[in-house]
Structure 1
Amino acid sequence: MTRIDRKFAALKAEGKKAFVAYVMAGDPDYDTSLEIIKGLPGAGVDIIEMGMPFTDPMADGPTIQLAGQRALDGGQTLEKTLAMAREFRKGNDETPIVMMGYYNPIYNRGVPKFLEDAKAAGIDGLIVVDLPPEEDAELCIPAAKAGLNFIRLATPTTDDKRLPKVLQNTSGFLYYVSITGITGAAAPQAIDVAPEVARIKAQTDLPVVVGFGIRTPEAAEQIAGIADGAVVGSAIVKLIEEQRPLDEILAYVKSLADGAHRA
Structure 2
Amino acid sequence: MNWIQPIDPLNNIALSALVACLPIAFIFWGLIIRKMKGYLASLLTMLLAIVFAVVVYGMPIKLTLLSALHGALYGIFPICWVIFGAVFLYNVTVRSGQFEIIKNFMASITPDRRLQALLIAFSFGAFLEGAAGMGAPVAITSSMLVGLGFNPLYAAAVCLIANTAPVAFGSVGIPIITASHVSDIPEMAISQMIGRTLPILSIIVPFYLVVIMAGVKKTADVWPALLVSGVTFAFFQWLTSNYLGPMLPDVIAGLASF
Q: TM-score, normalised on structure 1?
A: 0.24
Name the structure with the higher strand share. Answer: 1
**Which has the higher relative contact order, 1 or 2, with Cα contacts under 8 A spaced 6 or more apart?**
1
Name the structure with the higher helix share. Answer: 2
Larger radius of gyration: 2
